[in-house]
Chains A and B, each alone.
Chain A
């Protein structure tokens, strides 16, 4: 995980990066961010599983056995964790872990950070229909299906600080 907090406030951009700040991001950057988010969610699920095991062990160590989770349960848990993680990230700082690494940020239709409800709904949509992301490759405004539904935009924003004041 990159620690973007080490970035200086006035970012020193490489050649060609400054001009593209604030523009809508393309499919490659967003897909890369999504892959990172998937890995991030997997780590969260694994941590949750280990936490659950530790809880069971502490409660009855002698009777401890590794809990067996079915695929349905795993997928369900993964989706739930992913949706929550995405919603918290988007509503909190406007970006998930993957988006932070790739220098992306999601904004509403007025350019502000999403509200939690919109963020959660959009996160559920993304988790259920992740392939809708690839529409951004075709869209004239680099908009995915989720963007079209919730009128959001994912932009290049390497700045670590997120303007919070402009909430519509």
Chain B
């Protein structure tokens, strides 16, 4: 920061920014040589450019510092020691400043939105000016810090000149205001470039950081522990989802035959509680629904009866049943006759005081 401050002519009118000789903006070689797109991918290219364009852009202080660093300043070494590190540092600072600038821009916009509209109309935006000044100082400090890394001697001289300059004590307020405007201008001049560098850096950095973070995090476990899936599902309008689904198209894409072929129907039937199903069937209700009259009307009862009669030997049945009836009647008469025979014989025998009769008839074995 001190290296950058020595370039501000404190107490005097701010020089024309367009004046190349008295430009207070420290133009680092990489910035001037670049085509406006500064980013990490082109870092090596910038380093080469810095090496080539270093000497013409050096001020006398830088030349002194370069002389202090190198024994033979006229013959630039093939590789400047610390130049790569300085470039990296510069790029890092630039990226940091870009990130800060993005945040500062947002802050400035926010501040501006809180101010009355009249302030915008005047063209003087104190908030923006101060923010830009701060950022300009920051980026200048960054650039200076990078330069300071390259040359420590370069930083000593300006500090002393600034301290010994009696003009610094005069018109301090004007100088401060002018310095603020100058810094703002410096910031605006390099705003796009710095923001672009920061954007390019973040474009590469953010995915890397995100991937590294995600590798360390078990998102599934976090979701399980932290997310109330049920609450989310309850808020989901399933009806709307279903309405938007083209069920017919989905069904058309399903090979039903293949699905059916994979189904073990035998196992399904074995697992079916047929008895429970049958118990739940109301047979009476089914019968009530049947048009029995219609069924009967469609039957040829005469033909069915004829077939039944043909299959049944009805005369034989009548004959057997009548024969059985006659047989039973005859047996009854015979038994009654036997009983009557016995009764009469007993009465007669009792009257005649005779013992049992000899009723054995002559049979085949014996012959009387």
Contacts and interface: CB of A to CB of B under 8 A. Distances in A.
Interface of A: 2-4, 6-7, 14, 16-17, 20, 22-29, 32, 101-103, 107-111, 137-138, 140-142, 153, 155-156, 158, 163, 166, 168
Given A26-B341, A29-B341, A17 B359 contact: no
B337 interface: yes
Contacts of B333: 32, 101-102
Interface of B: 320, 323-324, 326-327, 329-331, 333-335, 337-342, 344-345, 348, 352, 354, 357-364, 367-368
Contacts of A156: 334, 338
Given A26-B344, A29-B338, A102-B333, 9 more contacts: A6-B324, A14-B331, A17-B334, A24-B361, A28-B341, A28-B344, A109-B367, A110-B362, A158-B334
B124 to A, nearest CB: 142
Given A101-B330, A137-B345, A141-B357, A28 B362 contact: no
Task: Kindly name the residue among A7, A26, A28, A103 whose own CB sees the greatest number of chain B CB atoms within 10 A.
Answer: A26
Given A28-B337, A111-B363, A3 B357 contact: no
B330 A153 contact: no
A3 to B, nearest CB: 6
A108 B367 CA distance: 10
Given A23-B360, A110-B362, A142-B357, A102 B345 contact: no
Contacts of A107: 361-362
Task: Kindly name the residue among B330, B339, B359 whose own CB sees the greatest number of chain A CB atoms within 10 A.
Answer: B359
Contacts of A22: 360-361, 363
B267 to A, nearest CB: 58
A103 to B, nearest CB: 4
Contacts of B354: 140
A156 B363 CA distance: 12
Nearest to B330: A2
Interface residues of A, dominant DSSP:
loop
Contacts, number: 103
11 contacts: A6-B327, A14-B335, A16-B335, A17-B338, A22-B363, A24-B359, A26-B341, A137-B348, A138-B352, A141-B359, A168-B367
A155 B155 CA distance: 166
A103 B334 contact: yes
Nearest to A100: B330
Contacts of A102: 333-334, 337
A111 B338 contact: no
A52 B24 CA distance: 175
Q: Which 5 A-B pairs have the closest CB atoms?
A: A26-B341, A29-B337, A28-B340, A6-B323, A23-B359
Contacts of A24: 357, 359-361
A111 B361 contact: yes
Contacts of B339: 16
A153 B362 contact: yes
B344 to A, nearest CB: 6
Contacts of B323: 3, 6
A29 B358 contact: no
A100 to B, nearest CB: 9
A109 B358 CA distance: 15
Contacts of B345: 26-27, 137, 142
Contacts of A14: 331, 335
A111 B334 contact: no
Contacts of B367: 109-111, 168
B364 A17 contact: no
Nearest to A19: B338
Contacts of B324: 6
Contacts of B340: 26, 28-29
A142 B339 CA distance: 14
A110 B340 CA distance: 27
B334 to A, nearest CB: 4
B326 to A, nearest CB: 5
B365 to A, nearest CB: 9
Contact of B361 (A3, A23, A103, A137): A23
Contacts of B352: 138
A138 B354 CA distance: 10
A1 to B, nearest CB: 9
B368 A29 contact: no
Contact of A2 (B327, B348, B360): B327
Contacts of A110: 362, 367-368
A137 B324 CA distance: 32
Given A26-B345, A107-B361, A153-B361, A3 B326 contact: yes
Nearest to A6: B323
A23 B345 CA distance: 13
A141 B344 contact: no
Nearest to A17: B335
